[in-house]
Structure 1
Amino acid sequence: MFYWVHLKNGLSREVYGVDKNRNIIFWSKYEEYRSMINDYIREVISKLSIPSNLRDASSHLILSGGKRIRPILVLSVVDLLGGETDHGLPVAIAIEFLHNFTLIHDDIMDQDMYRRGVKTTHVLYGVSNAILAGDYLYSLVFRLVSDYYKGDEAR
C-alpha cells in the first residue's frame, strides 16, 4: 500500500491510496489520524521534564502545524496490517519529531526567517537554543520508541 498527495491549485489536498486489490481510494482517515497525532504531540510535550526555554524552543515549530504526512503514513500501515493505530503513535510521533529536528537545523543553515507562516526557531530563540532544541528533538525520537516498545515488541 502506498499514498501520495495531489495538490490542486496549491491549496486543497486530496490524499489517495491503493487498497489490497490495487484499487485507488480516497483516504478518508486523514483528518482523524492528523487529529490523533496532534493530540499525542501535545500530550508528549506537556509531559517533558525540561527547562521551559528548551521546551518552548523544541515545541515551537512542531506545534505550528504541518500536514503530518509522515506520521499519517505510519498509522495507515498499522491500520492496513490490522493493528491498533494507538500502538503506532509513538513511532509516528518519533518520525514527526525527527522531521522537525531536520527543519530546525535546515532553517539555521539556510538562514530562513519563516516556516509555516511563523518565525523560525532560531529567529525567536537564537541559533544556540535552536540547535539545542533540534538536538533535543533528535534524542526524543529514541526515547519515544525505546520507552514504548520493549521486550518482544521491539524485535
Structure 2
Amino acid sequence: MNIEEWEEYQHINDAMNDMINSMDDSSQMKSVVGHICRSGGKRVRPIILMLSSQICGSNSEDAVNAALAIELIHSASLIHDDILDEGVIRRGVESAHKKFGPAAAMLAGDYMISKSIELISSYDAPVVRAFGRAGMAMAEGETIDIKSTTGTFEDNNYFDCIDKKTASLFAASATMGAYIAGADEATAELLKDYGGKLGIAYQIVDDLLEYTESTDDKRSCHESISLLQIYQKEMTQGQAVQKATEIAMEYVKMAKEILSNFEPSDARNKLLEITDYITIEMLPK
C-alpha cells in the first residue's frame, strides 16, 4: 500500500505546502514550520477526516481546511512532546527543538495551533467543538503521560492516557469529517467510535515497535511507561508482547466492525486499508 499515491494525501500535502510558501520570510518561523511539516509523516489523521467526509456523501475539497487543521495541531503536539521527552529524532530527522532550540520550536507549535484555529473557524459549531475538545484531551493525556514514571501506573492509567493523548485526535478527525458532510448525530458518533478504537490500536502497536526496538525513526531521552512494561511486571517479555498484540488486534476488529455499518464505497475501502496499514502491517515481525 502506497498512501502517498492517494488523492487525499496529495490534497493535504498541497494545502500544507501552500501554507508554508505563503508564510512571511522575515522571521525564522517559516524555516521551523517548514522543517516540521515537511519531515515526513503518513498524514493519517487528516486522511481519515477526508475519507469520513466522503463516506457520508461529501468530497475531499470541502474538508481540506479541517484536515490541514488536524495535521497542524498533531504536528504541534509532537513538538511539545519532543520538548517534554527530550526527543532527539522524530520521523527520522532531527527534532525541531534540537535543530532550532526549544524556544523557536515551542513558538512554532504555538503558531501552528493558532493557524489551525483560523482554518477551523469557517466550519459549523459541531466541527469546531470536536476540534477544541480533542486539543484539550491531548493536553490532558500528555500530563498523565508525564506522571507515568512516578508513582503507580497501571493498565487502566495507560488506557486513560492513550485515549486522551492519541485516540482523541483520531476520534475527532472521523467525527469532524461526518459533521462537515452534514451527517446526523448517530452517524457522527459511529465514526467517532471508529476513530477512537483505531487510535488506541495504533498507539499500542507504536508502543510495541518501540518496546521491541523495531523502529529507528524516533528517539527520546525520556521514555514513557508503556503497556508492555506494565504487563512485564507479571509475565515474560514474550508473553507481554503477545498480550498487547492481542489487545491491539481486538481494537482493530472493533474498528472494522463499525465500518461495516456503512455501504460499500471507495471511501470505506480506504478506511479499512488505512486501519490495517497503521496497525496490522506495522506489527513487529
For 1:77, the equivalent position in structure 2 comes to 52
Tell which structure's C-alpha radius of gyration is larger: 2
CA–CA distance in 2 between the matches of 1:52 and 1:90?
24
CA–CA distance in 2 between the matches of 1:61 and 1:79?
28
More strand by share: 1
Please, what is the CA RMSD of the aligned residues? 2.0
CA–CA distance in 1 between the matches of 2:47 and 2:20?
19
Residue 41 (str. 1) matches residue 16 (str. 2): yes
Unaligned runs of 5+ in 2: 126-285
Unaligned runs of 5+ in 1: 1-12, 16-28
TM-score (norm 1): 0.73
CA–CA distance in 2 between the matches of 1:43 and 1:109?
30
Residue 154 (str. 1) matches residue 154 (str. 2): no
CA–CA distance in 1 between the matches of 2:45 and 2:118?
19
**Pair 68,42 (structure 1): closer, same or farther in 2 beyond 3 Å:** same
1:31-69 superposed Cα distances (whole Å, 9 cap, x missing partner): 221121111110111122364411111221211110111
**Pair 64,145 (structure 1): closer, same or farther in 2 beyond 3 Å:** same
CA–CA distance in 2 between the matches of 1:46 and 1:130?
19
For 1:9, the equivalent position in structure 2 comes to none
For 2:262, the equivalent position in structure 1 comes to none
SS in 2 for 1:114: strand
Residue 121 (str. 1) matches residue 96 (str. 2): yes
In the alignment, residue 67 of structure 2 is paired with which amino acid?
A
TM-score (norm 2): 0.41
Of stretches 86-95 and 52-61 in structure 1, the one that deviates more from structure 2 is 52-61
For 2:117, the equivalent position in structure 1 comes to 142
1:59-95 superposed Cα distances (whole Å, 9 cap, x missing partner): 2121111011100011001111211211100000100
CA–CA distance in 2 between the matches of 1:51 and 1:109?
29
Aligned identity (percent) is 34
Residue 107 (str. 1) matches residue 82 (str. 2): yes
Offset of residue 103 of structure 1: 0.1
More helix by share: 2
